[in-house]
Amino acid sequence: MNFETDEALLTGESLPVAKEAKVIFDADTGPGDRLNVAYSSSTVTKGRATGIVYAIGMKTEIGSIALALRATDKRTREPRRSKDGRVKPHRYVEAWGLTAGDFIGKFLGTTVGTPLQRKLSKLAILLFGTAVVCAIIVLAANKFSNNNEVIIYAVATGLSMIPASLVVVLTITMAAGTKRMVTRNVVVRTLDSLEALGAVTDICSDKTGTLTQGKMVTKKAWIPAKGTYSIGTSENPVDPSIGDISHNAFAPYHAPQTEGDHEKAMPYTDHLEDNTHLKDFLNVASLANLARVYKSEDTWKARGDPTEIA
């Protein structure tokens, strides 16, 4: 069976995956290794096949990703179960305690928000506790007298522990950091993201389709009767109307080292004028593959094997 699908959207795999209908895999096999399954949101790049639909909507792999993105933290903790699936009584008490701790932490702000926000919440709790202790000390020194002056002095002592300018200082600091990042071509939409960025120690990023476009591009073509054609950079690799081509009369392994030996880069239409060798080369390349490059609503699109598209 000559059937391949592009699963870049689901697994990040840049190359098409050849499917095999007769193989069987274990239930815990990952989506990228299930060669007998064609997934929703993937596109067919080669061949034909007949399949049986066993999952739709949110039951598909792409649907499970959507559910995971939409899911929110549960308000209650589930009790731990033993290997036989039973739950011991003390596990319920443990789950209730953890649930209560989560609620209190969320209410006080010590378990939600950015790292800086959590630290500020803990600092606020510490200052509040210190203020209460100071107020109690003032009242105790005056034998807990209900005199107005004593009460006002105790309250003033507690309020003096609150850093009134802390919010202003933090805002100015964040604004200065944002301005500095703008000079490095980094756009910060919210200050919260800047706070979280300061706590990052390692960055793990997907490459295909994130740092790169996940598309192949032909950079050079050698026609023995004419020489080597080099393709310049292009923002859209599948758009044949943009990008320039340069030419030199040498083979790739004898290519000139200086740009002066290259012809000036020109649009591909200029190279096609009275150039039967290049036309024959392009005709053979277009007829010897199953890829399709087409224009839809003023946008060039491609479907098929990435190598053949290139």
Number of other CB atoms surrounding residue 157 within 10 Å: 17
- The 3-class secondary structure across 153-208, one letter per residue, is HHHHHHHCCCCCCHHHHHHHHHHHHHHHHHCCCCCCCCHHHHHHHCCCCCCCCCHH
Q: Which residues of 219-243 are buried (b: 16+ CB within 10 A; e: fewer)?
A: eebeeeebbbbbbeeeeebbeeeeb
Active-site choice (33, 206, 261, 270): 206
Instruction: Please state, in angstroms and rounded to a whole number, the distance separating the CA atoms of residues 234 and 241.
Output: 10
Give the gyration radius of the chain's Cα atoms.
Answer: 33
* 3-state secondary structure (DSSP) of residue 43: strand
* 3-state secondary structure (DSSP) of residue 5: strand
Spatial contact of 256 and 248, defined as CB atoms under 8 Å apart: yes
Q: What is the DSSP letter of 210?
A: I
Instruction: Please state, in angstroms and rounded to a whole number, the distance separating the CA atoms of residues 305 and 78.
Output: 47
Instruction: Give the β-pairing of 245-248 and 227-231.
Output: antiparallel
* 3-state secondary structure (DSSP) of residue 99: helix
Strand partners, 223: 227
Element (H, E) at 296: strand 292-296
Instruction: Give the β-pairing of 43-46 and 220-223.
Output: unpaired
239 assigned to active site: no
**Residue 234 one-letter amino acid:** S
Instruction: Please state, in angstroms and rounded to a whole number, the distance separating the CA atoms of residues 89 and 194.
Output: 45
- Which residues are identified as catalytic? 206
